[in-house]
Structure 1
């Protein structure tokens, strides 16, 4: 039952808080926390004060009772010749209870003090004292009892009672003070939290307005940073995201522009050849054998177009970022890529030296990148040349016997659609090396191009090694 009520309270508070702004949530939670603290502190203060006042009253009454025992013991029949007037100053009551629970009241009192088991026990045991609160005729009394043995040896207990009006007045005043102070404290803390929240959340509001501005205007303008605190770091992270988005958008625009330009050439040539074939169907304008040559050109252009589209898809798709990398041997991937390259250059010799290189990666994308490097080497090497392939410590080096790369082109060979003057008349899409650089980046590595003295171009693909499990690559 308690658990269900607690769940309902939590849900109600959650609905109340979740529907408010962050500033009002902060104010509400601060006010609630202060209110709970005030209640706990107030209850503790009230309880301790009440206990202290009762303890002080009990000690005073015990002292009065002990002073009265001497008079009662000397003259029990007349209650020590005490009269109500003696206790008028304190508006107190006096009575004597015996071990048999018989109570003898002070003559002339307008109220009687009934005895309980505690007073009877004090009379019988003749040790200690007792204290309790008595409500009679609408008045609260504090009653204490002390042991007394009469002149004839009879054990009794003397009971003294005094009204608790002074204690109750003090407690009522304390309760009122705690209530007023608590309300003022909660209100002050709530308004202070509102003001503080407004000041603290100002950068968050600026960040929110910036996000809205980006959404509405599509402008990726950075946000001004006002401090070096957590919100400043959040703004810095948001600015970094904006720069990344702007760079990604610019790359996307450049890719679309380059792809449109590159796709236009084979499409235009293909369209011209197809129009030529359509015209030949009606007029027979082509000489004998020319139709087959045109169809061959169309087939070649389709192959070039398909390769270009495939490279574009491989370069731009994002699913590679989400593919889980696995522990692989880069040497095995390189061997598979070399077997594919042998079929494209049957007369070329591959001089290989491959060491086991455990890495974390995606074997399909990595094999495609290595194949692109080997295809590039095959393309520029003589038909009977030698391509040197070595893999040491996660660093794959491929050296061909081609003409090499001009110094002005070395920094541009990994750009999309870039083709040097030497490669203008060779087949290709201009995306192979860009795919290599993209794959290296996805694997946390690097790709580098340079010239090898006495040979041709030298490409280096470096992928970080990992510690393999025991006997994984033996």
Structure 2
């Protein structure tokens, strides 16, 4: 609309300027005739000017006016025309109203034969100009309205196109909230919204993976917990039955109580591993400066109590790291317990710590090649380990501890020996190492 108003104003000014030039030219042409025969107005008549609807008058410097004989209306002089008559320079132009008709009037200077200064005033109706401007205004209004409508539709379409990914993202969030289904969203571009959609899909995949792991953990935990609970319940029912019937032979009751105690220990260990693994999945303890060698020594002392006949050959170098001592000791203890479990009673477990790499080698039967990729999975038990005590979570805790400390753990076989586990953790730079002072 602003462009239309500007266009209308400029066009009106241009048409008025053109009309004024034409009127001035006519007035200047009339001055030569009027100056030669002022008494008869140079032979001009109202009928002669009627074709152009023109009006003519001569204005004196004192404000007197001489109208052209025969005109149907008079031209009223104003200060502009009197000024032109007095100064005899330039010209004037103004709009006047007369009998409901709008005129455009100009005045040019002229001197009579006796030297009297006057001004010739000529006017013409502005009906043609007003008609043209009216038509132009209608056209501009229509064009402006169409322009506004087109711009509005284009803006709405653009906004709809731009906000479509946002609506899809919002709909996806609403769908996840209402249906609990983690379906990814289609990516339509590589702009910021496309990147946001991609990040949202990554979040959905992570949630889906976490949910599946949680579901699997619950299923596996339920299965693993059911076995010791069933066995313990059977033994307890047997003891209750023996109280009333005395059905057990001498010494059998003690054996059953021993089995119950062992099952309680297995049950407690499984619950402890589940709690530790679940807690570490959600809350990472703050890390502090520790020497991995000291943590390994503490873990070896615990492992010796589980394998009194086994020799531990340890070669440990000072290894400063940032970590949680309790979780690291638990992870190393799990590795040593695994080595004790599969080592012969008089075997040797070799432990070597150097440059952030802890290697534990036992003298057991080793790990089958088919089992190597799965030994760190939760509740995974190889055929060799199915009849051995354990919860199936020890090595999973080791893998998770290594991950949260920015390290890794690997299982393979040592030629001429048994299984070899390698735990690697990032070591602090020497300048930050207080153990080297």
Same-fold call, TM cutoff 0.5: yes
Task: Report 1:254-403 matches (<5 A).
Answer: 254-275=216-237, 293=258, 296-297=261-262, 299-314=264-279, 317=281, 319=282, 332=290, 334=292, 337-338=295-296, 341-342=299-300, 344-345=302-303, 348=312, 351-353=315-317, 368=327, 370-381=328-339, 385-391=349-355, 396-402=356-362, 403=364
C-alpha change, 1:91 and 1:308, in structure 2 (3 Å) is: same
C-alpha change, 1:333 and 1:60, in structure 2 (3 Å) is: farther
Find the counterpart in structure 1 of residue 9 from structure 2: 47
Q: How much has 1:437 moved relative to structure 2? A: 4.2
Give the TM-score normalised by structure 1: 0.64
Measure, in 2, the Cα distance between the counterparts of 1:351 and 1:262: 37
C-alpha change, 1:211 and 1:307, in structure 2 (3 Å) is: closer
Find the counterpart in structure 1 of residue 76 from structure 2: 113
* Contact residue 314 and residue 435 of structure 1 kept, 8 A: no
C-alpha change, 1:353 and 1:41, in structure 2 (3 Å) is: farther
1:65 is the counterpart of 2:30:
no
C-alpha change, 1:61 and 1:70, in structure 2 (3 Å) is: same
Give CA-to-partner distance per residue, 1:115-154, whole Å, 9 cap, x none: 24x5555555554444333333322222333344555555
Q: How much has 1:409 moved relative to structure 2? A: 1.7
| SS across alignment from 1:411 | helix
Structure 1 unaligned blocks of 5 or more: 1-38
Find the counterpart in structure 2 of residue 15 from structure 1: none
Measure, in 1, the Cα distance between the counterparts of 2:103 and 2:406: 85
* Contact residue 334 and residue 367 of structure 1 kept, 8 A: no
Give the TM-score normalised by structure 2: 0.69
Measure, in 1, the Cα distance between the counterparts of 2:77 and 2:298: 111
Measure, in 2, the Cα distance between the counterparts of 1:280 and 1:436: 43
Measure, in 1, the Cα distance between the counterparts of 2:42 and 2:422: 120
Structure 2 unaligned blocks of 5 or more: 306-311, 341-346
Find the counterpart in structure 1 of residue 105 from structure 2: 143
Measure, in 2, the Cα distance between the counterparts of 1:309 and 1:209: 37
Find the counterpart in structure 1 of residue 124 from structure 2: 162
| SS across alignment from 1:58 | helix
Measure, in 1, the Cα distance between the counterparts of 2:44 and 2:433: 108
Measure, in 2, the Cα distance between the counterparts of 1:159 and 1:473: 106
For the pair shown, the structure with the greater C-alpha radius of gyration is: 2
* Contact residue 273 and residue 394 of structure 2 kept, 8 A: no
C-alpha change, 1:99 and 1:337, in structure 2 (3 Å) is: farther
C-alpha change, 1:282 and 1:60, in structure 2 (3 Å) is: farther
Give CA-to-partner distance per residue, 1:247-306, whole Å, 9 cap, x none: 555444433321211121232244345546656777787869779746744652452243
1:88 is the counterpart of 2:46:
no
| SS across alignment from 2:361 | coil
Measure, in 2, the Cα distance between the counterparts of 1:367 and 1:122: 108
* Contact residue 97 and residue 115 of structure 1 kept, 8 A: no
1:104 is the counterpart of 2:78:
no
Q: Which moved more, 1:232-241 or 1:431-440?
A: 232-241
Q: How much has 1:185 moved relative to structure 2? A: 6.0
Measure, in 2, the Cα distance between the counterparts of 1:65 and 1:389: 115
Measure, in 2, the Cα distance between the counterparts of 1:472 and 1:121: 98
Q: How many residues align?
A: 412
Measure, in 2, the Cα distance between the counterparts of 1:411 and 1:197: 52
